[in-house]
Amino acid sequence: MIKTCLFPAAGYGTRFLPATKSLPKEMLPILTKPLIHYGVDEAREAGMNRMAFVTGRGKRTLEDYFDVSYELEHQIKGSSKECLLDEIRSLMNECRFSFTRQMSMKGLGDAIYTGRTLVTEEAFGVILADDLCVNDSGDGVLKQMVEIYKKYRCSVVAVMEVPKENISSYGVVDGKFIEDDLLMVSNMIEKPTPEEAPTNLAIIGRYILTSDIFKILSQTKPGKNGEIQITDALMEQAKQGMVLAYKFKGRRFDCGNLDGFVDATMHFYERSKQG
């Protein structure tokens, strides 16, 4: 039903300098796979096979990762190391990868709008790769959201409860529960103070968006921090129709900061030891 997943990946990753001076933050590895690979895995599990990337200057490594490396493959051909490429080869065979550039950093809303030329379906997924999500006991987060889209045919955002003292780092939603863990959005605020926040339900980097979001984004004025905020566009979409917020099943690691990155590494390391 939904075939395209959009990956906004133009940010500088300044929290990981100096590593991200030349290495895109989406290429930072959790064990032996970069963050972007986990994101593509999640999209593929959700039934999507068209991976669209909005990149920026210095992000060529992302394109190279999802391409054949002839010299490397020649060097390890026939060796015990060749099987280590099986997984990425499988993704390359199953999926189509396309890329465009965001010319300047104008916010997530602008990054999504920049990707409009790569999206052809009525609805599409969005994954922020530095939000690494896992569900060891069931479907991945994006697959859970696709099932909600199938039922309601509207935009869906993933949310989680966060401590009030951390709420100013997130977009926050409010509304009315229509099912367990599913909220019809009536309000969205980008990075509110703890006093301004109507709830502690924070949006994380997983979205299902319907195509009318592009027209709304084209008319959205800069908001918080002078950037085009996807929350402002979604709030307008909620006024015109319906937007749902889903308290997903699973765990999210904020790999945009060092603590979350280390926690994710330890989680996947412990999981690998269990076989």
State mean pLDDT over 196-215. 95
Asked if residue 17 has pLDDT above 70, the reply is yes
Between residues 18 and 70, the one the model is more confident about: 18
Give the C-alpha separation, 105 to 222, whole Å.
12
Is the pLDDT at 57 greater than 70? The verdict is yes
104-142 pLDDT per residue, tens: 878 899 999 999 999 977 899 999 999 999 998 899 999
Category of 191 on φ-ψ map: left (φ > 0), alpha (ψ -120 to 50) or beta: left
Split at pLDDT 50, 70, 90, the class of 275 is: low
Cα dist from 207 to 87, 108, 127, 235, 238, whole Å: 25, 12, 7, 14, 14
Q: Which two tokens stand for residue 14?
A: 């300044």
> Please, which pLDDT band fits residue 22 given cuts at 50, 70 and 90?
confident
Least confident of 180-184, 209-213, 270-274: 270-274
pLDDT of 232-250, one tens digit each?
A: 999 999 998 899 999 999 9
80 pLDDT band (50/70/90 cuts)? confident
| Cis check: omega of the bond before 29, within 30 degrees of 0 | no
Average pLDDT over residues 11-28: 90
Residue 126 φ/ψ, nearest 5 degrees: -135, 130
| 181: pLDDT strictly greater than 80 | yes
Query: Which pLDDT tens digit goes with each residue over 25-50?
Result: 999 999 999 999 999 999 999 999 99
pLDDT-derived band of residue 56, with 50, 70 and 90 as boundaries? confident
Share of the chain above pLDDT 90, in %: 72
Mean pLDDT of the chain: 92
**What would the mean pLDDT of 164-183 be, rounded to a whole number?**
93
164 Cβ contact list (under 8 Å, min separation 6): 194, 197, 200
Instruction: Give residue 273's pLDDT.
Output: 86
